[in-house]
Amino acid sequence: HAQTVRLDHAHPELLKVRQALVAFQEHIRNKMERRHQRLSRPGPLKRAESLEVASDNNLCLVLDEKAIEYCATLCADVLTAVSHACFSVVACRARKDQKAQMLNLIKLGVPGSCTLAIGDGANDVAMIKAANVGIGVIGREGMEAVNNSDFAIGQFRFLRSLLLVHG
């Protein structure tokens, strides 16, 4: 708690981020409760209800180094709940330990999730190993990512074909 107060005073914008995450978590919790009530009702779903349930997860959460450090350290449960409500979570410009930390947080906190890590250097090895599926990109930074990945591609532009063809 003392660490949270110090961070809130040092970086007032982080308090707004945490408050927004908590508000979004509450919104998602209410939405999930309504969805559960509809799905647990006897009888088939109406067409409009089934479309609403199917289209709920169209959100993407993008986090950078500071957001990961703040959220994963001080409100990991909120981050997990928000991540659970999203179709995808992207960690960008993060430290190598944070990339693996985010993958483990998602794998443990979001049941049924499938994690994908894409990296092109030795700094991405921990992330690639932590993921369910790891993709190494052959590049200037060496072959460490490729040697520790499930799939290897020659350039980032080949990623689209890999995902569209192989899923």
Q: How far apart are CA 147 and CA 141, in angstroms?
A: 12
Quick one: tokens of 156?
Answer: 């980032």
pLDDT digits (tens, 9 = 90+) for 84-94: 878 888 888 88
Q: Catalogue the E-assigned strands of the chain.
A: 60-63, 88-91, 116-119, 133-137, 151-153
pLDDT digits (tens, 9 = 90+) for 60-96: 888 888 888 888 888 888 888 888 878 888 888 888 8
Is pTM beyond 0.75 here?
Answer: no
